[in-house]
């Protein structure tokens, strides 16, 4: 079992009967979905809500009941991976295309469990990845100008073939932004949330309840 799988299996042990469980997106979240489905076959009863179409499909294929996000006003627990995690549990997410739903579920959940291996631990947000900023398509140039005004740089994300632009599940364009490391994550969170035309961005502050970190098969809790 690799570290991502190990931490996912660990988190699945915390799921109790009749919970509404939010399913994240990505390889670690996939391991969690698989383990949840396995537990359901052994008589665990849950309802799921997924942060992406891909996770919905995976969960349904494995027999998990999935309700649409439009039908819930809260959930018990949301379980997802992250791209970066700081000591104070600020996260960077959204390397995929689903960060709007991911943040909605993280916010609406009583508990948000974050599952990472130790490669995701960083001393500042933006250390390893640019910060994804989802923008309304017509607003991208004005948002870019606002980012540059505070010392950042950004470029529109290309699609995987490299012959067009990436479109998020929400229908937005994505600016991948870098900032000088002198601007802290809290300040960036505030700055990005205040720019008109920004739909959502990848800094998740004050949302994670617990971060489980796997390191060579050992799990620690932040
Ligand atoms: C997608 C995410 C993922 O949780 C993040 O990219 C981690 O992915 P993985 O578990 O595959 O390393 O935020 O938007």
Domain boundaries, the chain: 3-122+205-217, 131-201
From 4, 11, 29, the mutation candidate for ligand 1 (largest count of ligand atoms within 8 A of CB) is: 29
Q: Which residues pair with 109 in a beta bridge?
A: 75
Query: pLDDT at position 181, please?
Result: 84
Query: pLDDT at position 11, please?
Result: 98
Query: pLDDT at position 60, please?
Result: 98
Spell out the per-residue pLDDT of the chain, length 222, in tens.
Answer: 999 999 999 999 999 999 999 999 999 999 999 999 999 999 999 999 999 999 999 999 999 999 999 999 999 999 999 999 999 999 999 887 899 999 999 999 999 999 999 999 999 999 999 999 999 999 999 999 999 999 999 999 999 899 999 999 889 999 999 999 889 999 999 999 999 999 999 999 999 999 999 999 999 999
Nearest to 186 by CA among 82, 90, 86, 108: 90
Q: Is the CB of 120 under 6 A from ligand 1?
A: no
Residue count (the chain): 222
Q: Is the CB of 174 under 6 A from ligand 1?
A: no
From 54, 91, 95, the mutation candidate for ligand 1 (largest count of ligand atoms within 8 A of CB) is: 95
Query: pLDDT at position 169, please?
Result: 87
3-state secondary structure of 71: helix
Q: Which residues pair with 133 in a beta bridge?
A: 175, 201
Query: pLDDT at position 85, please?
Result: 98
Q: One fold for both 3-122+205-217 and 131-201?
A: no
Query: pLDDT at position 207, please?
Result: 98
Encoded tokens for 140: 């991208």
Please say whether the beta carbons of 73 and 117 come within 8 A. Answer: no
- Candidate CATH numbers 3.30.70.260, 3.30.56.10, 3.30.70.1880, 3.30.420.40; the one for domain 131-201: 3.30.70.260
Burial level of 183, CB count in 10 A (0-12/13-18/19+)? middle
Encoded tokens for 77: 């627990």
Domain 3-122+205-217 has CATH 3.40.30.10: no
* Selected catalytic residue, list 34, 35, 84, 102: 102
Cα of 30 vs centre of ligand 1, distance in Å, is 10
Is residue 205 annotated as part of the catalytic site, yes or no?
no
């Amino acid at each position: 079992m690799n570290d991502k799988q190990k931490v996912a299996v660990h988190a699945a042990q915390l799921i109790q009967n009749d919970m509404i469980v939010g399913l994240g997106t990505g390889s670690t979240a996939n391991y969690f979905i698989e383990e949840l489905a396995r537990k359901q076959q052994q008589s665990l009863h849950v309802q799921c809500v997924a942060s992406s179409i891909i996770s919905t499909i995976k969960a349904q294929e494995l027999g998990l009941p999935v309700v649409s996000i439009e039908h819930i006003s809260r959930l018990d627990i949301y379980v997802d991976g992250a791209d970066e995690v700081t000591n104070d549990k600020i996260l960077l997410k959204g390397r995929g295309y689903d960060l709007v739903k991911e943040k909605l579920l993280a916010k609406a959940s009583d508990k948000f469990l974050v599952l990472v291996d130790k490669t995701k631990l960083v001393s500042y947000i933006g250390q390893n990845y640019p910060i994804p900023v989802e923008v309304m398509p017509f607003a991208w140039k004005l948002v870019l100008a606002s980012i540059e005004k505070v010392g950042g740089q950004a470029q529109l994300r290309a699609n995987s073939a490299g012959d067009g632009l990436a479109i998020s599940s929400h229908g937005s364009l994505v600016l991948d932004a870098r900032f000088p490391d002198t601007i802290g994550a809290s300040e960036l969170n505030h700055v990005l949330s205040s720019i008109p035309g920004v739909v959502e961005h990848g800094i998740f502050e004050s949302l994670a309840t617990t971060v489980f970190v796997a390191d060579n098969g050992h799990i620690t809790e932040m």
